[in-house]
Amino acid sequence: MRGSAVFGLMLLCSSVYAQAPAAKPAVYTNPKAAIEDRVADLLGRMTLPEKLSILALEAPDSQRLNTPAIPRLGVPSLRTADAPQGVHDGQVTVFPTGITMASTFDPALIMKVGETIGQEARARDRQVIYGPDLNMHRTPQGGRGFESFGEDPFLTATMGVAYVKGMQSQGVAACAKHFVCNDQETGRHDINTVVDDHALHEIYLYPFEAAVKEAHIWTIMDSLGRVNGPWAASSIPLQIDTLKGAWGFDGVIISDWGSVHDTVEAANAGTDIEMPQPQFFSADNLNAALKSGKVTQAVIDEKVRRIIRLMVRTGRLDGTKPLDASVVNSVPHQKLALQVAREGIVLLRNQAKILPLDRARINSIAVIGPNAAVNQLGGRWSADVTPAYSVSILDGIKSKAGGKIKINYAEGTPLTTAAISPIPTEFLTPPDAKPGEHGLRAEYFTNPGLQGAPALTRVDPQINFDWNSNQPAPTVPRENFSTRWTGTLTPTVTGHYTMQLDSDDGSRLFIDDKQIIDYWSGHGTGNVQATGIDLVAGKAYKIRVEQFQGGGGAGCYLGWIAPTPGKEEFTEAIAAAKASDVAVVVVGLSNNIEGEELDPPDLYLPGKQDALIQAVAAANKNTIVVLANGTPILMEKWLSHVPAVVEQWYAGQEAGNAVAEVLFGDTNPSGRLTDTLAARRQDYPDFGNYPGSNGVVKYEEGIYIGYRHFDKKNIAPVYPFGYGLSYTTFAYSALKLPAAVKGGQPTQAQVTVRNTGARAGATVAQLYVHAVSPKTDRPVRELKSFQRVSLEPGAKATLTLPLDTRAFSRYDPTLKKWVADPGIYEIQVGESSRDIRVKGVVKVK
């Protein structure tokens, strides 16, 4: 009886369940539902702890920079990764760096790069890639300049938009960085960038605005430092008023690694996700801010809403499966990397048409230099990508020579020379020295500004101090003190010296009252080198070192690398050069010299590379220099001695093959400079305002960075912006322009380009706008359109060069908007900013 009752109850229950309608699936799980409906539905289902949990990435390890998953709702984590030239996750395709990409002046090609990196990101199950880098090349010493697209905002915007569109077409979020004015690495954690509103909008914000409005980018990363006072991650004018307000950005703002400094300020200023782990955006801190009313629930919900929207856009909520791993470094991807390298290589010099090399007339080639047998892929840290393979220039030349040409290899000199050692006391003499006395006069001040009378004066045998948190002396405080060392330096060997200052905090070095090193900013332990300092044996040079300590640890160290007396240098390299028909010297920089938190100490080739080029050129008149670097190099010590110079920047895993193709003429070079290359460091616009002092860097040049500065000051560069040689020539004609155009309306120009040489080749028609009689201060010319074209010998093409709504506009800081002033504007089209071939005028109404 009892069992029958239970059985009957079971039948009844099953009947009820059978008749009940199936529960509707949650809207957020429906891929066909409208995106905002999905966002609202999931947001409404989340508890406060779940909302707070996704506002910071998980504590990082070697393979994890993810938002936490929400298992209760079936919400997976968002998985992110560096870097802009490839996915920082195992062995992948390593493309040329941003500066090489931009040198192609080929946005269609760079869109394919974005697509390809997006595919490899999906194969690695990554939904967000931290790139592209849209910061400007304000200073030639910017350690991450290799990651970004150059000195011109229009070029940077164009290449950035192409990259973003390509990547996001694959369902992977691009993350433009670093918003904004992260244009140097020295002091980047706390430097306050002071920039006027005019330059901020017209130069530095311009590429980010294009990424938002034209490419509809899904994520943006803020910068580490301060901009006009507030931390970038806590800047309401930048992130709320401009980015999310005026521009309508509906994506996610991710902090840089440690750029959040305050829970309430960053939360209310629009930062959505803290990286690398929950600190200020921890649940405890955010709950406290909510309870105090300093952060509202609406602010939290808006952040979560944006993150959910990103999950929908990347397909993360729909369980999109990773692509097959075979796509990573596949043959099509390798070919694309090679094509970008081919188009991005810039031929700077080709005297007597020494290039291309004729295989039929050459029996031997000397391949020399520290970057010949190793392929430098880029600067250090977050940009690091691991290739499945990498082709050095030595290997590329051997392959293209085909075994018929003898290759004589010699390293010549290491990229970085012997270890820095402290300058021995016997080379230093204090002022008013007693007989036999050596060292430097040291004056210690009880303030960080070298002010007033010193609290202590003594002779220090050498500058080699690690005070840590101890006092330099009982009369000097542990914090907020400064030191000045003076005297003379008398070397015993004539030659090239490298000087290095290590300090915590700032330091600077003067020789004969000329500033050699400027590291005068608040920072932890770090160092700056100055290379290529020519000193004469027996000559006494005035030397002055200044140091300050502003808090925390303290130390100062002055070291050098001195030439070895009596040793004949470059023996193997000279022998290889003499035994060969042609010498190729491959020099440059590496990820030990530039990169994240590492600005190059100066613009000279480090170590003894300048001297190596001189020695090889003296041994072989047919010397070709190949540069592998991410920041400009000063060439005055050797440029006139060599007939050819090839700038490859960092050309990715296929660099060796691409360079060899250019040398042998299998590829006609067509890359164009994204940066003006100056004759002297003093010629660059940031000189005197880099790296800043007392925690502040002033952008006093305003809008005049890059070629804008060189044009305004009438300074002749060694090579101008947009410059690049070819093995053929091009002629320009038939410029067609509208007679008049309404300000703020798009229009176009047409120009005919003809290949007047004997080889097929490509060129870049560059259109610059010049305001003839401006009512306000305007640059002499500004790049506003360009188009790359490939032509067979004798062929011609009519190019259409679009001019967008801002082609004739300037940013008016008073009106806080872009304004096209009525007047006459000259349209200049040519091969570089200093090589204008055709001109015409347009009247703007």
Question: Within the chain, which residue ranges are assigned CATH 2.60.120.260?
Answer: 421-561
pLDDT block averages, 10 residues each, the chain of length 845: 41 43 82 97 98 90 78 96 93 98 98 98 96 98 98 98 98 98 94 98 98 98 97 98 98 96 98 95 98 98 98 95 95 98 98 97 97 94 92 96 94 75 90 92 96 95 84 89 96 88 90 92 74 90 94 85 71 97 97 91 92 97 98 97 98 98 98 98 96 95 98 98 98 97 96 98 98 96 98 98 97 97 98 98 97
What does the chain come to in residues? 845
pLDDT for residue 529: 81
* CATH superfamily name and code, 28-327: Glycoside hydrolase, family 3, N-terminal domain (3.20.20.300)
Residue type at position 278 = P
Q: Which secondary-structure segment (H or E) carries 519?
A: strand 514-519
| Degrees, nearest 5: CA angle 293-298-303 | 115
Nearest CA to 763 among 830, 836, 717, 664? 830
Nearest CA to 83 among 95, 70, 66? 95
- Which of 82, 152, 256, 460 is labelled catalytic? 256
- Confirm if 478 and 471 have CB atoms less than 8 A apart: yes
Which residue shows structure tokens 């000087």? 499
Please tell me the distance from the alpha carbon of residue 671 to that of residue 96, in angstroms, as a whole number: 13
Q: Any catalytic annotation for residue 256?
A: yes
pLDDT for residue 502: 86
Please tell me the distance from the alpha carbon of residue 292 to that of residue 284, in angstroms, as a whole number: 12
Beta-sheet pairing, 495-504 with 526-535: antiparallel
pLDDT for residue 484: 97
Nearest CA to 408 among 347, 367, 445, 466? 367
Interacting residues of 682 by C-beta distance below 8 A, sequence separation 6+? none
Residue type at position 710 = F
pLDDT for residue 553: 76
Nearest CA to 217 among 313, 351, 84? 313
DSSP 715: P
CB-count burial class (<10 Å; 0-12, 13-18, 19+) for 673:
buried
Interacting residues of 489 by C-beta distance below 8 A, sequence separation 6+? 423, 427, 428, 511, 535, 540, 541, 543
Question: Within the chain, which residue ranges are assigned CATH 3.20.20.300?
Answer: 28-327
CA of residue 19 relative to chain centroid, distance: 64
Please tell me the distance from the alpha carbon of residue 37 to that of residue 40, in angstroms, as a whole number: 5
pLDDT for residue 551: 72
pLDDT for residue 12: 41
Give, in order, the Cα–Cα distances in Å from 493 to each of 534, 535, 537, 552.
Answer: 10, 8, 5, 39
Please say whether the structural domain 341-417+567-713 has been given the CATH code 3.40.50.1700. Answer: yes
Question: Within the chain, which residue ranges are assigned CATH 3.40.50.1700?
Answer: 341-417+567-713
Q: Which residues pair with 91 in a beta bridge?
A: 386
pLDDT for residue 16: 42
CATH number of 421-561: 2.60.120.260
Which residue shows structure tokens 């796509």? 327
Nearest CA to 825 among 766, 765, 786, 780? 780
- Confirm if 257 and 65 have CB atoms less than 8 A apart: no
Question: Within the chain, which residue ranges are assigned CATH 2.60.40.10?
Answer: 730-844
pLDDT for residue 23: 66
Structure tokens at 427: 């080379």
pLDDT for residue 61: 54
CB-count burial class (<10 Å; 0-12, 13-18, 19+) for 800:
exposed
Neighbours of 262 (CB within 10 A): 16
- Confirm if 155 and 674 have CB atoms less than 8 A apart: yes
Nearest CA to 507 among 459, 448, 454? 448
Nearest CA to 308 among 73, 630, 606, 539? 73
SS3 736: strand
Interacting residues of 14 by C-beta distance below 8 A, sequence separation 6+? none
Q: Which CATH architecture has domain 730-844?
A: Sandwich (2.60)
| Helices 331-344 and 655-664: angle between axes, nearest 10 degrees | 50
Please tell me the distance from the alpha carbon of residue 1 to that of residue 217, in angstroms, as a whole number: 70
Neighbours of 798 (CB within 10 A): 12
Interacting residues of 773 by C-beta distance below 8 A, sequence separation 6+? 823, 824
Please tell me the distance from the alpha carbon of residue 785 to that of residue 830, in angstroms, as a whole number: 11
